[in-house]
A = this chain, B = another copy of it.
Amino acid sequence: MFIKNAWYVAATSEEIAEKPLARTVCNQKLVFFRNVAGKVTALEDFCPHRGAPLSLGFVRDGNIVCGYHGLAISDQGKCAGMPGQRVGGFPSIKRFAVEEKYGFIWLWAADAETADVSKLPVLTWADSDNWAYGGGLYHIGCDYRLMIDNLMDLTHETYVHSSSIGQPEIEDAPPQTVVEGDMVVTSRHMHNIAPPPFWANALRLNELDPTALCDRWQICRFTPPSHVMIEVGVAYAGRGGYEADDAIKASSVVVDFITPETDSSIWYFWGMARKFKVNDAALTATIREGQGRIFAEDQEMLESQQRNLLANPERKLLKLNIDSGGVQARKVIDRLIAAETK
């Protein structure tokens, strides 16, 4: 069960170059390619001639040409030509609405005619020279909602990421969850704590004292269909915390686009946006590598949890205060799916 009337991140811009890209999103097998103007197109990955995947073909003159017998399909899904054939009466294939923005390819999961560009998220960090961004893509075998749960309850950092961003003080600071329309915000503030290794290093990179006592914050924002942006950071203790002056803090935005591939697998686009040393490409690479290592630690847990839940469909799980972010996010998802299907 997915929200259909929404934009999902299907790929990064650089993934779609000369060759077509095959990718399944929300159970739909798709092929992505660029037309002559460079605009990205998404079609169902099924040649109407004999059913071969179009993604095994190639792009010529902005059309995708089937690699089996050469039927060319336009970026509108219409048959555009085939040697020795008149294609006027050939059936079209389904086209999906796609937008390229912020370095990502956004796919509208419902019918293309219903696509609403105004619903694309606004990502200030992606549009500004004051920010730098680096990220990656993981394929994980779990229901997309398990990943939302994971990101809306960061107490797991203490256990899954104990050597980098976890610390016991996380658990001592109860989170607060509020729902604002379709957005769910779970916030946690810790005071007067030693920064864990990841943040000590970030302080050092900001030319701040990595041994200083700090205030630390995590502000997780879920928005439909399945995006979680997390403001995270530390500031010298007692100087305003999240509101402190940039000169005494290290902070960033953890970016999580969770795109369902199937009912039990996701394409997980993760990354980090930062406001310091934004022109330091080597630093971007270092941060991405570190984040990639940390986020890979979730994979075994999420896939094991998925298997356990599939094997025990009747069991009810606990809904603690720390789970409130995920619970509320699921309520938003359920409400929006219900509104679509009635």
Report A309 CB to chain B, min CB distance, Å.
Answer: 5
User: By the criterion CB–CB under 8 Å, are A49 and B312 in contact?
Assistant: no
Listed residue (A68, A70, A90) with the most chain B CB atoms within 10 angstroms of its CB: A68
Scan A301-342; emit 1 where CB is below 8 A from any B CB, else 0: 100110011011001011011110000000000000000000
What residue in chain B is nearest A169 (Cβ atoms)?
A: B83
Question: B residues within 8 A CB of A156?
Answer: 68-69
Question: B residues within 8 A CB of A231?
Answer: none
A-side interface size class: 35 or more
Pick the contact of A49: B57, B91, B318 (CB < 8 A).
Answer: B318
Q: A52–B315 Cα gap in the complex (Å)?
A: 12
Q: A321–B46 Cα gap in the complex (Å)?
A: 20
A290 interfacial contact with B, CB 8 Å: no
Q: A227–B171 Cα gap in the complex (Å)?
A: 48
A66 interfacial contact with B, CB 8 Å: yes
A48 interfacial contact with B, CB 8 Å: yes
Question: B residues within 8 A CB of A245?
Answer: none
Q: A318–B305 Cα gap in the complex (Å)?
A: 44
Question: B residues within 8 A CB of A149?
Answer: 50
User: By the criterion CB–CB under 8 Å, are A155 and B69 in contact?
Assistant: yes
User: By the criterion CB–CB under 8 Å, are A51 and B309 in contact?
Assistant: yes
User: By the criterion CB–CB under 8 Å, are B48 and A318 in contact?
Assistant: yes
User: By the criterion CB–CB under 8 Å, are A53 and B158 in contact?
Assistant: no
Pick the contact of A51: B29, B70, B315 (CB < 8 A).
Answer: B315
20 interchain pairs, CB-CB under 8 A: A29-B308, A50-B317, A50-B318, A51-B305, A51-B308, A51-B312, A51-B315, A52-B301, A52-B305, A52-B308, A53-B304, A57-B159, A68-B159, A68-B301, A69-B159, A70-B155, A83-B155, A83-B158, A85-B321, A91-B318
